[in-house]
Amino acid sequence: MSICFSSRVFNLHSAKNQSFVTRFSSQFINQIHVSSIPYALPSSSLNLSELLKHSRQKKLNPITASTTPSVETLSQSSFRNKKPKDINVLVVGSTGYIGKFVVKELVDRGFNVIGVAREKSGIRGQNSKEETLNQLKGANVCFSDVTNLDALDKSLRNLKVPIDVVVSCLASRTGGVKDSWKIDYEATKNSLVAGKNNGASHFVLLSAICVQKPLLEFQRAKLKFEAELMTEAEEDNGFTYSIVRPTAFFKSLGGQVELVRDGKPYVMFGDGKLCACKPISEPDLASFIADCVLSEDKINQVLPIGGPGTALTPLEQGEILFRLLGKEPKFLKVPIGIMDFAIGVLDFLVKIFPSMEDAAEYGKIGRYYAAESMLVLDAETGEYSAEQTPSYGKDTLEEFFERVLREGMAGQELGEQTIF
């Protein structure tokens, strides 16, 4: 295992959903550091004039506790009766891995999309304003600060159009303790409050299936927001939500493809069957999230969702890869105890150096995704269940591996700390 000390940061490379294994693999075998690769962007324009035509007054309703929407609620959600072109959808986290695809999907479906973005967006702020506009082609882009409620509220008011639906794809880019609470809870809450202040009556939240078993700080932050979102819908009869909890993304599973192609073994923990997931592609997940804008059967629902096909363990993912390469399978099985040892060391060090709390958290994230499945957790048996995890979409992991073998991992970069 490669644990790297730099002048200020103790950096245990880890990753969500087996991508820890990727980093582990690349460092264990090669002792190389994989950094993010900037990606190319298409062209676009900014146009709010269409939106100005569609302003409306939205009256918020009295408090009535209800978990399932009443007929009254649905009829009050007047945006549901409008055509997509007349529905204003605000997307926060619009510049992320999933957010970009959500914007594209909503634009393709004809909604009026307003993407909220930072002036420097993307991993480590690599994209300029111009590049962000190009990236969110077809959407109106509102440059603002989701971490500042007043600033966000003001920006939305300045648009001079009412918001109908907020879609949040916000997520901490580091997975660090403070940043998780700042983004996965506070900034997402700001988007709810500012969205509602500006007329929104439906909130679609991109969450994660792993919050079912919350052992990590970002999971606790997400769960707190989920709970408050549900309370909001109980107390405000005119307000609804859809919480989307996906399984693993392709980017989290593709990191070993090029290494294996280059002759390295496929690295996995234990016997390679400690965990399983139903990987989902960005376009398929974006399509599911876009469905949540109007589908009445997704109102006030928590929606676990995976990609097509059966659940796959790391061992099965490795076997797919070797089959595609026409190579004899070569696995490196790493005892899970090595992670426990590393976490123990980090937990000890963090008591002496509190500034290392994020490094310790990254270790725990790595351990979590090495051993916990990204599947529905059966409340009765306490076991993960592939059968109970719904499938959606058409893109398979095998096709994704084929593409990475052909074209590389461009566009599939992990976040700032190569965690998510």
Ligand X SMILES: NC(=O)c1ccc[n+]([C@@H]2O[C@H](COP(=O)([O-])OP(=O)(O)OC[C@H]3O[C@@H](n4cnc5c(N)ncnc54)[C@H](OP(=O)(O)O)[C@@H]3O)[C@@H](O)[C@H]2O)c1
Q: Which residues bind ligand X (CB under 6 A)?
A: 16-17, 93-99, 118, 121-122, 146-147, 169-173, 183, 206, 208, 246, 248-249, 252, 415, 420
The β-bridge relationship of strands 140-143 and 165-168 is: unpaired
Nearer to ligand X by C-beta: 26 or 188? 188
Minimum CB separation of residue 172 from ligand X in Å reads: 6
Return the closest-CA partner of residue 233 out of 77, 34, 33, 49.
Answer: 77
Minimum CB separation of residue 144 from ligand X in Å reads: 9
Minimum CB separation of residue 225 from ligand X in Å reads: 10
**Contact 397/285 with Cβ under 8 angstroms?**
no
* Helix extents (H) in 19-135: 19-30, 49-52, 71-76, 97-108, 129-135
Nearer to ligand X by C-beta: 95 or 112? 95
Minimum CB separation of residue 241 from ligand X in Å reads: 16
DSSP type of residue 212: G
Adjacent-strand bridge partners of 102: none
Residue 418: partners with Cβ closer than 8 Å, 6 or more residues away: 13, 14, 15, 19, 23, 34, 35, 36
Residue nearest to ligand X (CB): 96
**Contact 395/102 with Cβ under 8 angstroms?**
no
Nearer to ligand X by C-beta: 164 or 184? 184
Give 3-state DSSP helix, strand, coil % of the chain, rounded to 5: 45, 15, 40
Residue 123 backbone zone (phi > 0: left; psi -120 to 50: alpha; other: beta): beta
Match 């969110």 to its residue by tokens: 136
Nearer to ligand X by C-beta: 225 or 239? 225
Nearer to ligand X by C-beta: 17 or 44? 17
Residue 391: strand, helix, or coil: strand
**Contact 267/24 with Cβ under 8 angstroms?**
yes
Nearer to ligand X by C-beta: 184 or 236? 184
Nearer to ligand X by C-beta: 253 or 356? 253
Beta strand ranges found along 222-315 (DSSP E): 240-246, 266-269, 301-305
Report the amino acid identity of residue 263: G
Nearer to ligand X by C-beta: 135 or 237? 135
Minimum CB separation of residue 58 from ligand X in Å reads: 26
Q: How far is CA 93 from CA 9, 10, 316, 387, 390, in A?
A: 26, 28, 32, 31, 25
Nearer to ligand X by C-beta: 142 or 201? 142
